[in-house]
Structure 1
Amino acid sequence: MSPPVSDRRCCPATISAAIRATLLLAATGLVSFGAVAAPADADGWQFSGDFRGGYFASERTARDGSESDEDAFNSRIRLAFERNLSETWKFRTRVAGRFGTEQDDIDVYLRSYAPTRGGADLGDITLDEAYFGYQAPDDGLRFKVGRMQTAFAVPGVASKGLDRNDSPNIGVNWTDGVHLDMPVAGGWRGHVIAQYQDSKGSSSVTAAPLDFSASGSRTTLFLGMENKQRVGAITQRMLSLTWMPDSLADLGLANPSRQDYVTVDARVAAEWPLGTAGARFVTGAEVGYALETPVDAVSGTGGTGDTGGLAWQVQASVYDFAPDHNIGVAIGRADAGWLISPDYRPNDSSLEVRYQWQFLPKTSMEARVRERRELEHPAGTRARVDRDLYVRVSHKF
C-alpha cells in the first residue's frame, strides 16, 4: 500500500479559532432568530448538544490495481438552542461543525447549499437547524418551517437510508423548506417535505449528474406514508416518492438536457425478543427505484445504454446480546442511477459490521468495518474496492 496522506495536524491556534468561530455563529443565530421568539425571557432557552469523534482509516484498490490508504482523527460537534413559544409552538436553532486532523482551515458560513456533494466539509461551521415548529395536541399535526433535519432510515445498529437521511455518521447536512407531518388513519402518518435547492448545489447528499442550475429545479418534493404502530413483529412500514424536477443531467453536466429525477422507495422493519434477559433481534429491508437515470457514458460504468435505477439494503441487529452491547450487519447495493443516498454510493455494493457499547446513559463507543465494491466498470479494468473502519465515541449533553 502507498504511504499515508500528508499529516496536516490542527495546531492549537486552529482549534482555538474553531471554538471562537463556533461561539460567534451560535450567538449570531440566537440574535437573528431568537428575536422572533419575543416576548419570552432568557430563562426559557434550553441548551443541548452532542459530540462524536474518533479514528477513521481507509484503503482503496483502484481500477488499475494501484493501492492507496489514508487515516485521520475526525469529529463533529453540534450545539442546539431551543425555546417553547407556547404550548404548541417552539423555535430551535443549532450550530454544527466538522473538524479533522487533515482539514486545511476553518470556514464559517450561512448559506443554502453545501460546499461538497456530501455536505459540509472538514473545517466547516454552520447552522444545520433554524426552524419554527408546531405540534398539535394528542399527537396530531406536526409542522416545521425553516432549516431542519429530515431523516427516514431502516432501524438498526447500522441505521441507514436509501433516500432522505440528513447528517449520518459525522456528516452535516440540512433541509431548507417545509415539513408537514399529519395523521391519516390507522396509525399511518403522511409526510410532505418541500425543499429549496440552490442553483449552486444542494444541502442534501446528491451524486453527479444531479444538477440544480435550471430554474425549474428550485424545489424538491418528498411524499411519504409511514406507520410505526406495532402489528405483531412488524414495527415500521413506509412508502415514499421523491421528485426533483429538471435536476437530472442525463447526458452529462455539460449538456443542456435536463430530466425530472423521480424515485420510489419502500421499507419495512420488525423486532423479536431473544430469550428472557432482554436481548432483541431487529431487522429491516428497503428497496428503491429511480424511474429516469443517466446514460452509462456519463456514469463511467463502461456500458452503452442507461444506468440501472435499483437500490436495496437489508439490516439485522442484536441489541443487548450482553448488557448495553449491540451488534449489527448491513448489506446493500445501489445501481449507478441511484443518486440520492447518503449511505450507499452509486454503482457500489456494501457490506458492513457495526458494534456498539452504551457504557454510560449518554455516552457510547462504536466500531465499524466496511467493504464497498464497484458493480460495473469499463472493460480492461478491475472493480474498485474500498475498505474502511472507524472507532468513535458519541456523547450527548
Structure 2
Amino acid sequence: MTIETERLRDRVAADMIRARERTTLLTGAVDDGDLIRQHSPLMSPLVWDLAHVGSQEELWLVRDVGGREPVRPDIDELYDAFKHTRADRPALPLLSPAEARRYVAQVRDKALDVLDAARLEGRRLTVDGFAFGMIVQHEQQHDETMLATHQLRVGSPVLTAPPPPAVSSPIAGEVFVPGGPFDMGTDTEAWALDNERPAHRVDVPAYYIDRAAVTNGHYAAFIAAGGYDDPRWWSPAGWDHRQAAGLTAPRHWQRDGDGWLATSFGRTAPIVADEPVVHVCYYEAEAFAAWAGKRLPTEAEWEKAARHDPATGRSRRYPWGDDTPESHHANLGQQHLRPAAAGAFPGGASPLGVHQLIGDVWEWTSTDFAGYPGFGPFPYREYSEVFFGPDYKVLRGGSFGTDRAAIRGTFRNWDYPIRRQIFSGFRLARDASSESAGDA
C-alpha cells in the first residue's frame, strides 16, 4: 500500500468516527420516548434516522464494497426512504432505540474492517474512497436532519453550544461581479455527488450580489412594512401558499410587543438583528427580494460569487481557496447553534469580498433543480435524478448544522419551495443594469 492510500484510509476512518460521534450526541441527548416520538409530520422519528444511517452503511460498504454477508436483510424495506413517507414511519415496526444502537454498532465494526481491506482504486465506487465518502456525507446529512428535528422538538433544552464569534466590522452592501464565463461544477472533487458533475463552462452576465445574507433586522422591517399582507411582492404561487399556510413571520418567531422573539432548540430570546434570518421558505425569500427591489440569485450566480477567482480565472473549491474548512472559515458542524452575524468569519470571504457563502444558512436560489449538461446518475438514480424538475428549488452553501465533509463550493441541496423546517435563509442579487435597490 502506498503512503497516499494509507493516509486516505486514515482520513476516511476519522470522518466516519466523527460523523458517528455527532449521531451519538444527537440521539443520546434525549430519552427513548423522544427518540421514538414523531416531533413533526415533516420529520422521521429520530430512531428511524439512526437505523437508516446504519442500513445505508450496510448496503453500500458491508455488502457492496465488502462483499460481506448481510447483517439485517429483514429491515431493508423499513429503512428505504422511498418506500415509506416520513409521516408514515412512526407506524412501522421499527427497531427499538436499544436495537438500533446495537445494529449501527455492528455495521460500523464490519464497515471499518472493509475499509482496512478495500482497494481504493479500480471500481468507480471505490476510487479515492468514494463509497466511504458518500456514506460519511449521508450520515452527516441525516445528522443535520436530526438537528432540525431537535429544533421542532417541544421540551427542555438538551443541546448546548457556545455563541458564534462577535463582529468587529459589520458587513453590508453589495459587490459587482463582472460578466463572463466560469467553470461550474466539478470533475475533480473526489467525493462530489452526481448532481455536482460534470464541470461545464457557464457564461454569466454581470450582476450585483449582496456581501451578506439578509438579516433578522432587515426581515423584521419587511414585516413592519406590511410585506406579508401585500400581494404585490408575492408570486401567484407564493401568495396562494402564504394565505393557505397563514404565514406572518419566519418559523419560530413570535411577537413581543413591538419586537420579536425566536425559539431556538428550546430557548426563547429576542431576535439578534444582525444575524441572518433563518427558517424562511423560498416564497418568503422571493417576496422579500421583490419588496427590496432586488431578486434571488440564480444558482450559477451564487456559485460564481463563491468560487470564481477573477485574478486567475479558475474556480476554487471554497470562497477562501482550496483548503478544507476550519473553524475560522465558516460556521459549520453544529459548533454554534445559530447563524453568525455578517462579518463573523472574515477568513472565509471570497476574492470579491462576499462573506459567509459557506455555513450559517442554506441560501435559496431562483433555480429549479436539474442535472448539468452531460449529467449521469451515480451510483443510483434516487440520489438526484428522481427529484429533477420544477417542483424543487436549489439551495446552496450549507448551514450552521452542515458538516465540513458535506459541503463545498459545488455542493447542491434542494427542497420544496414551501419548506421552512430546514436551516434556510437567503441573500439578494440584482442585474448590473438595474437601478439601485430601494425599500430595504
Structure with more strand by fraction: 1
The answer to which structure, 1 or 2, has the higher relative contact order (CA under 8 A, 6+ apart) is 2
TM-score scaled by length of structure 2:
0.22
Structure with more helix by fraction: 2
